[in-house]
Amino acid sequence: MTEWFLFLCFLEPSSKLLFQTKMLSLPRFRVAAFISLILINSSLKAESAIGVNWGTLSFHKLKPTTVVDLLKENKVQKVKLFDADPDALKALMGSGIQVMVGISNDMLATLSSSTMASDLWVRQNVSRYIVKGGVDIRYVAVGNEPFLSSYAGQYESYVMPALLNLQQSLAKANLAGYVKLVVPCNADAYESTLPSQGAFRPELTQIITQIVSFLNSNGSPFVVNIYPFLSLYANADFPQEYAFFEGTTHSITDGPNVYYNAFDGNFDTLVAALSKLGYGQMPIVIGEVGWPTDGAIGANLTAARVFNQGLINHVLSNKGTPLRPGVPPVDIYLFSLLDEGAKSVLPGNFERHWGIFSFDGQAKYALNLGSGNRFLKNARNVQYLPSRWCVANPSTDLSEVTNHMKLACSVADCTTLNYGGSCNAIGAKGNISYAFNSYYQLQMQNSQSCDFDGLGMVTFLDPSVGDCRFVVGLTDVSSSSHRPNCRWLILWFLILWGFWVFAA
């Protein structure tokens, strides 16, 4: 009876009444089949929504409860996590927000080779939270863009076995009919010169066919990440207006179809690629899409607002695309909710500036998510450090400051100082002050961290200039911001212990 109760927790009131009435009149052997019917019917009625990605690679990390309050305040009904962080999941309990939890690529090998590992992962990260008043986990993302061309096939052999093991583990937990496995793919998994000619990369055709067949048989959508900004960033000849939704003089004609924006063209390239495999009607979810606000030419507040608002309006209009008229993506997860100042900048300095909110939960620009609020609402009750900053001491010789700046920026985030960044034009002393302050705030305003051999000084006057914001750190930083994850050490111990017992 326990698994029936778990499913009942997440049904709509009308479905609950129907469930209770029917269950009492059905033989026990037919109850499981009826549960599946109710769940399928419920999912078909689910409305498309604008969700967000909640990444946590930040030096100044908001408390998870503050983030969940921010989601609720902005009526965000769906959130995608890149892991199964227990602090985030505990904060999401009872929120009613639908959740996609993630499994990182480096965990795929273990999960693909051991059902013990997949059983334990599901128990620790899924079934323990799906209880009355718990977390509404709808998806598990198995890997994150595991077929990215730059990985050179590193994870390809692990994805399908991991899917099979995890599906078996969900079935053991009586959750296979409710929690769906998905594999978020980058748009570089498919290619073409025109959308109608879309096809998966030749070396991926076999594995993608297996995965799509698996997803289809289990009622899961295809999840893809689409980034028109990256097309613009990587190609100087890419027509800028084609990246947006405001109309373009660089439309693409593909037979009877005309494409006026890169998003629709990319989406239909995937539709065509799926059609070639025999799955042209497969539901598609956009796992990541967005526009950064800093760190590169073209990454700014105005462009981000225009792109994201245009995307939201386009999707919620239900116009669909030329190959899927009237059928927009099932859901879209904006990338991302918050800036992440600790992310790798290997792809570009813009990587730390995708948030529609800054690191402290303050809206960067006016954006209507189509959820009832006119514009974004800021996080409430954010606790900041005192209003003081570390700047270059104007009375000292700054000629020997280079090494100090390198030290500060090797630890803190100085990406806005680079070409195209919002702080690029504040002058040499401004650059020094920005670097010093970034380090000072990261050290929780420790007085010694503003010394820099006498080159720095503390000020109580905000040195921010125009769009260049000198931040003040947070006092309510999550205690787990830089805490190592020991759960997988425990997992490995249990696996080795199990093999030892079996061998004995």
Q: Catalytic amino acids?
A: 145, 288
Task: Please give the Cα distance from 191 to 197 (Å, whole number).
Answer: 8
Torsion angle in degrees (nearest 10) through CA of 38, 94, 66, 375: 40
Q: What angle do CA 448, 430, 393 make, to 5 degrees?
A: 40
Task: Please give the Cα distance from 54 to 84 (Å, whole number).
Answer: 11
Report which of 223, 145, 217, 154 is spatially closest to residue 188, judged by C-alpha positions: 145
How big is the chain by its Cα radius of gyration, in Å?
Answer: 24
Task: Please give the Cα distance from 323 to 21 (Å, whole number).
Answer: 42
Name the amino acid, one letter, at 395. S
Q: Which residues make Cβ contacts (< 8 Å) with residue 369, sequence separation at least 6?
A: 50, 74, 75, 76, 312, 376
Task: Please give the Cα distance from 180 to 139 (Å, whole number).
Answer: 5
Contact 303, 294 (CB under 8 A): no
Task: Please give the Cα distance from 336 to 343 (Å, whole number).
Answer: 13
Q: How many other CB atoms sit within 10 Å of the CB of residue 222?
A: 25
> For the chain, how many helices (H) and strands (E)?
15, 17
Per-residue DSSP letter, 23: H
Identify the bridge partners of residue 392 per DSSP, sorted by sequence position: 456
Task: Please give the Cα distance from 186 to 148 (Å, whole number).
Answer: 6
Element of type H or E holding 200 = strand 199-200
Pull the structure tokens for residue 495: 């696996």
Furthest CA-CA distance within the chain: 86
Element of type H or E holding 5 = helix 2-9
The helix/strand/coil state of 465 is strand
The helix/strand/coil state of 114 is coil
